[in-house]
């Protein structure tokens, strides 16, 4: 059996000043990403969390609709795409936030995060409260 040159070829860093690294994540355009997130919410979250998540996603995408700065757009899409991938992979439950991301947040973003945390805790208390 002959082995073709194509099958024998392997990527190497020889002769290169930079080592090989994985290809960067291809960003989805905003509308397909938005639909993917809502679809993932439908499949992975219970009803209450889905309603909360859908409302938040819709508000965030609406608020960022008129952003012109490409750096902000790329950062926004990258974070939402990583969120969708985590949700699809079930690696998000019980996971703690990266302290580096928290340090980079503005006061407004920290306020939003705090409100989200309070809403989730309130819902958990209501669900666990035997009325």
| Interval 108-118: pLDDT, tens | 889 988 988 88
pTM score of the predicted model: 0.65
Residue 130: the pLDDT is 59
Residues 19-24, mean pLDDT to the nearest whole number: 55
Mean pLDDT of all residues in the chain? 81
Distance CA 121, CA 131 (A): 17
Residues 6+ positions from 59 with CB-CB distance below 8 Å: none
Residues 34-61, mean pLDDT to the nearest whole number: 92
Give the model's confidence band at 122: pLDDT under 50 very low, under 70 low, under 90 confident, else very high: confident
Give the model's confidence band at 105: pLDDT under 50 very low, under 70 low, under 90 confident, else very high: confident
Q: How many CB atoms lie within 10 A of CB 84?
A: 20
Cβ-in-10-Å burial (0-12, 13-18, 19+) of 65 comes to exposed
């Amino acid at each position: 059996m002959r082995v073709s040159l194509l099958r024998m070829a392997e990527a190497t860093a020889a002769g290169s000043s930079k080592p090989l690294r994985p290809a960067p994540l291809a960003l989805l355009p905003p509308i397909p990403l938005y639909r993917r997130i809502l679809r993932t919410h439908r499949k992975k979250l219970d009803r209450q969390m889905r309603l909360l998540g859908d409302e938040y996603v819709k508000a965030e995408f609406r608020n960022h609709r008129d952003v012109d700065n490409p750096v902000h757009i790329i950062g926004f899409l990258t974070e939402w795409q990583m969120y969708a991938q985590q949700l699809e992979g079930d690696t998000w439950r019980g996971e703690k936030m990266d302290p580096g991301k928290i340090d980079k947040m503005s006061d407004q973003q920290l306020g939003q995060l705090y409100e989200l945390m309070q809403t989730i805790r309130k819902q958990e208390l209501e669900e666990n409260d035997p009325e």
